[in-house]
Amino acid sequence: MAGTARLMLILMLGGTLAASCSQAQTAGAPAADTVATPEPEFLNTFPRPPDQPASLLAPAPPLGPPPANLEEPYFQQDPLVDPPELGQMGWFTDVDAGFLKPHLLNHVSLPVTFPDGSSTQVGVNAVPLNWTVSPRVEIGYRLPTGFGGFALSYRNMTSQGSQTLIGADGPATLTSVLNVNVVDLDWVSVEYTRWNKWEMRWRFGLRYLNAYFGSQANEPFAEAAAGTTINQKATSNSTWALGPHFGIDVRRRLDFWGLAATGFLDVSDGWSRLRQDFFASSTTSALGTPQTGSLSVSTSSSAPVLTARLGLTWEPAAYPTIHLFAGGQLDYWWDIGRNGAFLSTPYGYFFDSGFVLRGEWNF
C-alpha cells in the first residue's frame, strides 16, 4: 500500500514538471502569424563575408603577366622617336673651317701720366685685319629614346694687321692683333618637327670665351724727339666671360641631290671681366732722359655674342652618316672692350664675316 502511494506521487510530480516545460517553450516561441521586422537599408551597404569560405585545398588562381624588369638598360633605341634619318645614336663630331674677315674697332683711350708729371692721351686706332681661317671642333654623344645628346666644342679666331701711315712726326707703323677662344658645353635636342621636309635641332648650355685685341703705333726715335717726343703708344683689351648659350639649327630638305637649305642662329651672354692696358714712351723727360708711363684699369661687364649662318647642307646617299655644309657666316661681339667704369670713354668691339665649310660625322 505504501509502495503504491509512493509511485502515484512520483507520476504526479513528473506530469506537473512536463506541463511546466511545455508552457515555457510555448511562451518563448514567436507566434506563427507574427510578421518579421525588416532589415535596415544601410546594413546592405556593409561588406559581407562569403557564405562559404574557399577551401584551403583549392588550386591557386593563374598567375598574371610578370612585372617589368627594371634592371634592364633604360636608354634603348626606339624606332618611333629615333628614326635613322634624324641621326645615328652614339658618338658624333663636327669640324668647321671658317674663312673670315675680322673687323676691329679699337677706340679705347685714356690719359697716361709719366714719372715727371706730364701726361699724354693714349689711344691707337686699329688697322684692317687680314683674312683668317677660324677652326671649330666639336665632339658629342647622341642619346637614344629622344633624349638628345651632349656636345663639347672649341673655336679659335686669330688675326693681325700692319700698316705704315704718316703720324704726327713722320712715318709711323701701326699694328693690330686679335685672338678669340670660345668653349661651349651644350645639350643638343633631337632633329624633329611636325612639318614635312623640315628638321630642327636646338641647343643650350654654358659658354666660356676669352678675347684679346690690341693696337700699337711706333715712330722713329729721332723724328719723335724733334716733334711731339712720343715715339710709342699702345693699348690692349683682355676680356673673359662666362654665361648661358643658346642656338637653333633649321633645315628644309629640297628633295634633289640630297641637299637641304640650312639656317643657324646662335646667341650668348654672360658676366665678363675685362682689363685694359695703356702704354706710352717719350724720348725725353724733365731730367732730359727717356721715360715711359702706363695705366691699367679693370671692371665687370657683359659680353653678348651673335652668330648667324645660312647655306646648304648635303647628305651623300651612299653615306647617310655624313653631312657637309657650305654657306655664309656673320659674328658680332658686343661690348668686348667696354669699360663700365668709364662710360663716357669710347670703347672697342669687333665683328667678322665670311664663309664657312662644315663637316659632320656620326660614328
Kindly list the distances between the CA atom of residue 71 and the CA atoms of 74, 228, 268, in Å, as whole numbers in the listed order.
Answer: 8, 81, 40
The single-letter DSSP state of residue 76 is -
Identify the CATH assignment for 92-362 out of 3.40.720, 2.40.128, 2.60.40, 1.10.3470: 2.40.128
Q: Do 291 and 353 meet the contact criterion of CB atoms below 8 Å apart?
A: no
193-227 per-position pLDDT tens digit: 677 888 888 999 999 999 999 999 999 999 989 98
Residue 95: strand, helix, or coil = strand
**Helix or strand (DSSP H, E) at 136:** strand 132-142
Q: What is the pLDDT along the chain (363 residues), one digit of tens a residue?
A: 455 555 555 555 555 554 554 554 444 444 444 555 666 776 677 776 665 556 666 677 777 777 666 555 656 666 665 666 556 677 889 999 999 999 999 989 999 999 999 999 999 999 999 999 999 999 999 887 667 889 999 999 999 999 998 888 888 999 999 999 999 999 998 766 677 888 888 999 999 999 999 999 999 999 989 989 999 999 999 999 999 999 999 999 898 888 999 999 999 998 999 999 999 999 998 888 999 999 999 988 888 999 999 999 998 888 877 889 999 999 999 888 887 655 556 688 999 999 999 998 876
Grid cell for residue 70: 627594371
CA torsion, ordered 342, 296, 352, 105, to nearest 10 deg: 60
Q: Which of 248, 309, 317 is closest to 96 using CA atoms?
A: 309
Predicted structure pTM score? 0.74
Residues in Cβ contact with 86 at an 8 Å cutoff, skipping those fewer than 6 apart: 190, 191, 192, 199
The per-residue pLDDT for 162 is 96
**Helix or strand (DSSP H, E) at 19:** helix 2-28
